[in-house]
Structure 1
């Protein structure tokens, strides 16, 4: 702390003995902005109206005990960190202990020894200055880190969204499919009371659940007639391809789950692994319901959007066979609350 900075600091002395206040003024005024009052009441008024960097507080005051004033200050969030040096004529170690227990910063004994007074005041002001600068730097670095994290998250989300749109662009009849599946999956997770972070995870999984279609020929994806067994086998490979692509994202290990397992069935008759029940990752079980719902509520090359009652019937029919009953039930609740049939491709 430079001398010029020290001279800008404000020190308030609270002592009912005029000669002691004047003595402290003579020692400190060339070094700091000095002011003094006699009573605890005057001190409280002064502190509430003025900026004070350090308080020199006598143990004995005309209107109250100095420790009483100290406890009052510590109970107020505005002044709980204000440095306070107690002034006492008590030479015992018990006096030092009392200061520490009451929340005081240090003690200066009477009669005053100038060099000790000056050094203790300078040390406390120096420590307070360093503490304040440290807090400012921590705040600055935290803000920088938060800004970098927010920028990184925005970049990740924009990249995922771009990939999702690239995937959907391969199929002329499923534009927006990945985004809708992501929204439906997050809606189900929200209805289940999942934490915000879990809802965010399943949203990204939904966006990229079909990323493996990048590795499937467009001629097969866009074929309007019945697929051959070979072509259907190629389509099924998109789950494995997608999983292998997303396995490379080390910072988000769950991301590949939705891609690999969203075509598993609750009864074990799905693909690629033939998992059943709780063997299927929970995220994939939610996405499976959302994916099936969007498949029925969006246009295809061979049909229009299915009527809502038909969609509801199919979800109910798949409960416990194709879908996890818990998540199918939540989807049925969502359908029942969508009285205007807004949750479909428009």
Structure 2
């Protein structure tokens, strides 16, 4: 398929020559006579591979046209532009390049345009390949994290799926707060890994059915710090530490490990704290069954401003109220 090039020049002789030259080189070319026509064309058609734009034109000159082109949403704001000029003008070239022009052409049109189009294609293909590989790496990382979360949950026969549910609840709370997709993915990942520190807690303590001794509870309370140390090693995602290390902090400052309070607790940790508490109450445990929904709601409401950030606890209450059939919980069956 021939490349689509738009040429804009108010001089009909130059325009005709450019069309003849480019078409002869096998390039599909559209001719326009002004910047206004270009903006109109771009708004109604697919973006071209390349725009060849004259600088000196009546009405909008080439510089003004490029400025307005870059302000267009979705179309035109990334289309490569090469300025056509009949004379060498260093000042004009500097101005054009600062505005985002790709190049200036004053001669050897076919060869320069062909090289420009090939470079653009190469850049697009490279960007697509990088995007593809990045996506593949992200999916692989998520699979590894999900498998790790399952391994953590498997230490306790009563917490199967806990990390996944906490991640899902936390993501929904964040979504209702207006987080973008990248932020939602990060919150979900933090939810999956929030209990990673339990790797360092003996199984006999995690699975104990009776009341924990003070010494045993002290060991349980170490899992946030252990999790924080583990996740500190993932330097490319430093935010992962937040969920693991501070999801047991309380809004009133009576939590652990650092006794943080209020907005000193990272926001993502405050979100995960609510999600974690909700799942703990709506899942079967070795010492009790799932709590009634009304009891869960009352506990979340009572904890607003004390255990939980009121904003995120309020969102969880909204989610509970929408869950008429109490399906948002651990359902082993």
**Superposed CA RMSD:** 3.4
The structural deviation recorded for 1:121 is 10
The answer for the alignment partner of 1:246 in structure 2 is 231
Figure out how many residues of one structure are paired with residues of the other and give that number. 277
Is contact 2:49–2:117 with CA below 8 Å preserved after alignment? no
For the residue of structure 2 that corresponds to 1:184, the secondary structure is helix
Distance between the aligned counterparts of 2:199 and 2:61, measured in 1?
Answer: 69
Give the deviation of 1:322 after TM superposition.
Answer: 1.0
Distance 1:207 1:341 in 2: 23
Residues 53 and 82 of structure 1 are in contact (CA less than 8 Å); yes or no, is this contact kept in structure 2? no
Q: Are 2:320 and 1:300 aligned?
A: no
Task: Decide whether aligned partners of structure 1 residues 332 and 83 sit closer, same or farther in structure 2, where only a CA change above 3 A counts.
Answer: closer
TM-score (norm 2): 0.73
TM normalised by structure 1 equals 0.71
- Residues 72-101 of structure 1: CA deviation (Å, up to 9, x unaligned): 86453477956599xxxxxxxxxx9569x8
The answer to whether structure 1 residue 273 and structure 2 residue 258 are counterparts is yes
Query: Does the CA contact (< 8 Å) of 2:247 and 2:272 recur in 1?
Result: yes
Q: CA deviation at 1:197?
A: 2.0
Partners in 2 of 1:191 and 1:102 — Cα distance? Answer: 46
- Cα offsets for 1:240-266 (capped at 9, x unmatched): 100000011101111011111111111
> Residues 122 and 33 from structure 1, CA distance in 2 versus in 1: closer, same or farther, beyond 3 angstroms?
farther
Partner of 1:4: none
Matched, 1:236 2:221: yes
Kindly state the Cα deviation for residue 302 of structure 1 after the two structures are TM-superposed: 2.1
Contact 2:85 2:106 (8 Å CA) reproduced:
no
User: Residue 54 of structure 1 contacts residue 83 of structure 1 at CA under 8 Å; is this kept in 2?
Assistant: no
Residue of 167, 170, 175 corresponding to 2:155: 170
- Give the structure 2 partner of residue 341 of structure 1: 326
Once residues 102 and 324 of structure 1 are traced to their aligned partners in structure 2, the CA distance between those partners, rounded to angstroms, is 56
Match of 1:136 in 2: 121
Closer/same/farther in 2, CA of residues 165 and 121 from structure 1, 3 Å limit: same
For 1:305, what is the secondary structure of its paired residue?
A: coil
Cα distance per residue 1:133-157 (max 9 Å; x no partner): 0011001110111011111111111
Q: Which of these two proteins has the greater Rg computed from alpha carbons?
A: 1
Equivalent of 1:105 in 81, 84, 88: 84
- What is the Cα deviation at residue 196 of structure 1? 2.2
Q: Secondary structure at the match of 1:150?
A: helix
CA contact (8 A) 1:188 1:327 kept: yes
- Residues of 1 paired with 2:232 and 2:279: CA distance? 26
Match of 1:63 in 2: none
Unaligned runs of 5+ in 1: 1-14, 36-49, 56-67, 86-95, 109-119
For the residue of structure 2 that corresponds to 1:300, the secondary structure is coil
Change (3 A) 1:124 1:295: same
CA deviations over 1:152-171 (Å, ceiling 9, x no partner): 11111111111101100111
Given candidates 168, 178, 193, the residue that maps to 2:178 is 193
Name the CA shift for 1:154/1:121 in 2 (closer, same or farther; >3 Å).
same
**Residue equivalent to 2:311:** 326
Partner of 1:8: none
Task: Show the counterpart of 2:165.
Answer: 180
Structure 2: which 5+ runs fail to align? 1-10, 63-82, 88-104
More displaced stretch, 298-307 vs 243-252: 298-307
Give, in angstroms, the shift of residue 32 of structure 1: 9.1
Superposition deviation, residue 281 in structure 1: 1.3
